[in-house]
Amino acid sequence: MSGSLTLVVGVIAIAALVMVWTVFQLVGNVLARQRATIQEQAGTSLKDMFIFVDPAKMFRLNAIALFVVPTLVWFVTRNLLFAAAAAVVIILLPRFAVGFLQKKRLRQLELQLPDALLMVAGSMRAGAALTVALESMVSESRPPISQEFELLLREQRVGVDFDTALRNMEKRIPLQDFTMVISGMRISREVGGNLADILESLADTLRRKHTMEGKIDSLTAQGRMQGIVMTCLPIFLIFVLRFMEPEAMAPLFDTLLGWGVLAVVGVMEAIGYVFIRKIVNIDV
């Protein structure tokens, strides 16, 4: 009997060690992938936005949050599902943050571009060369557009061909408006023509486009808000019922079947929100 008990205890101990080793391996793989992702984002996307951060420091902060936040969520809710969801959010947070910053920067570039083109066209009409007009625009404009054109001018100063510098800026700024402006500048340099008139025409076209986009955003604002409310309302009701009727809602949070129901609800909520965004997102 004693030998059997010892065998059982040994098997349980070995199984526990294997489980702990497996968990540590999974955590190590997750952290390694997260470190590689953060280094890639800090080395490419953030530098393209002139945001210079230390990838190692950014990874340490994210790793600390990955352990602290889910632990706090578990202590508050006593629910492993919420703790796991918090961990997933922390893992995906750097990618979403970089995407948000990129989108915000590109939007600022779109809004600044017509005024910048008018400045360049005005300087060229006054007799300045294109390079001098760009330098004047850079000195009078604010970031981020001044940063991009300043980098263009710096590349020219170190010997980079103007067309190559334009292509580099086109790669950094994946916007249809910038592609149209760069194409106009290339065509003007190759076949001739009044570049100041071309830039003024492009600036007027972009202003009209932005005006139309603003009207569309105003008309679809109610639809976007309805999508947010319809997505958040079921989640809000679930938490309200959780605190009002904890016994009735306990199977939804404390059983595997309940977790499956929550997963299905979450997927359906996400699909519904995506469809609503597709409907109200009108591209001009």
Nearest to 231 by CA among 277, 278, 280: 277
More confident: 241 or 17: 241
Residue 42 in this model has a pLDDT that exceeds 70? no
As assigned by CATH, the class of the 109-218 domain is: mainly alpha
What is the per-residue pLDDT across 198-255, written as a single tens digit (0 to 9) for each?
888 888 888 888 888 888 888 888 888 888 888 888 888 888 887 888 888 888 777 8
CB-based contact 74:141 (threshold 8 Å) = no
CB-based contact 95:58 (threshold 8 Å) = no
Residue 52 in this model has a pLDDT that exceeds 80? no
pTM of the model: 0.72
User: In whole angstroms, what is the distance from residue 184 CA to residue 189 CA?
Assistant: 9
CB-based contact 203:121 (threshold 8 Å) = yes
Domains of the chain, by residue range, sit at 109-218, 220-284
Nearest to 81 by CA among 272, 274, 249: 249
Question: Can you list the positions of beta strands (E) in 1-80?
Answer: none
Cβ atoms within 10 Å, residue 94 = 19
* Backbone region of residue 255 per phi and psi (left: phi > 0; alpha: psi in -120 to 50; beta: other values): beta
Q: Which amino acid is at 158?
A: V
User: In whole angstroms, what is the distance from residue 4 CA to residue 7 CA?
Assistant: 5
